[in-house]
Amino acid sequence: MKERYWPPCCLLRTAALQPANARATVEYRPLPPIVCRRMCPGPLARNVPRLATPRAYERECVDNATKTQRSGERVEAHSILQSRAASDPVLRSGERHFYLWMAGVFVLIAFGGFTPTYWAPVASGTFQGPPILHIHGALLFSWTLFYFMQTAWVASGHTPTHRAWGLAGIALFSVMMCSILVTKITVMRLDDAHGYGDAGRRFAAVPLFALPVLIGFFSVAVANVRRPETHKRLMYLVMVGFMHPAIARVALTLFAPPGAQGPPPVVVAVPPGLIADLLIVVALIYDWRTRGRPHQVYVYGGLALLADQLLTVPVSATQTWMSIAKFLEGLAG
């Protein structure tokens, strides 16, 4: 009896293409999924990267299975698994370097976006603001560099070092979240002192509404440290959320009317947020090209960020939010 070994990923797609009497002459022996994920079996089998599209994966499997006609020979799953393990770093190197490149983009956006409103005034000695702004800025810039460093450890194959720094990352993120809250309370009090109290409270909704979303992403990422595909995408979403203020600074510098005073309207923050969301679109396209479909973390996480950005505008004008903002402002005494 002639035998062909069909991986499960191709069995259902190709069985219908066989002649009507195929089941009488052909024995289908699907391999276990753990073997099928990376390669097609047989003496002439070739590695099939996980990064290939489903159509290319199917074409490769069909090609190998068609060439493989055996009589009594069996595939040794152990050998296949060994080859799979040996090729694993090569198969994942492209994905690792994608996140490293995007971490570099985050660093450029963070430092470049705040150059007109922070770095340039600080360098020239003209920056005016409470000390908490310097502490807040130092924490956020440190976090961006920390993310780049962590991504670089993984891309270079030093995953244990990446994990060893995990607790430091949790501590830095926690302090950074506290600094955002303290900074916004301080800014609201300053706006109130200059006669922009209500405008300052409404605009404070932009960063404060984003806090629970980003904390949620980070918490779920920590809970999924043993699931790297989920973990790294959640951390990517956290970084996209942090790019919103940097992009907004550039937009305000370029498009703010001359002589504008006080906090801007909340709706002004929507376009920079949508621009930041394009970073998620880049990741979605990369997943689509390499995995055949976008990861659900990007789909649901991107929708959560988008909903936060759009709902901030109407909610910030409600009396409920104004009461919450006044309560937070009162915490400073």
pLDDT digits (tens, 9 = 90+) for 1-24: 444 444 444 443 344 444 444 444
Measure the CA–CA gap between 264 and 255, rounded to whole angstroms.
11
Q: Which has more pLDDT, 43 or 96?
A: 96
Q: What is the mean pLDDT of residues 30-52?
A: 40
CA distances from 333 to 186, 250, 273 (A): 11, 33, 32
What is the domain partition of the chain in residue ranges? 2-75, 92-330
Any residues with CB less than 8 A from the CB of 126 and at least 6 apart, and which?
none
Name the token pair of 55: 């159509």
Out of 8-17, 184-193, 232-241, least confident range: 8-17
pLDDT tens for 237-280 read 999 999 999 999 999 888 888 877 889 999 999 999 999 999 99
Measure the CA–CA gap between 186 and 193, rounded to whole angstroms.
11
Name the token pair of 120: 């340039």
Strands (E), the chain: 2-4, 26-28
pLDDT class for 140, splitting at 50, 70, 90? very high
| pLDDT averaged over every residue in the chain | 79
Name the token pair of 253: 């510098």
pTM for this structure? 0.73
Q: What is the pLDDT, as a whole number, of residue 92?
A: 61
Considering just the CA atoms, what is the radius of gyration of the chain in Å? Answer: 26
Any residues with CB less than 8 A from the CB of 176 and at least 6 apart, and which?
139, 140, 143
Helix (H, G, I), strand (E, B) or coil at 295: coil
pLDDT tens for 90-125 read 446 678 789 999 999 999 999 999 999 999 999 999
Q: Alpha helix (H) ranges present in 26-116?
A: 33-36, 54-67, 77-113
Question: Is residue 49 pLDDT above 50, yes or no?
Answer: no
> Are the beta carbons of 103 and 143 closer than 8 angstroms?
no
pLDDT class for 331, splitting at 50, 70, 90? confident
Measure the CA–CA gap between 54 and 290, rounded to whole angstroms.
9
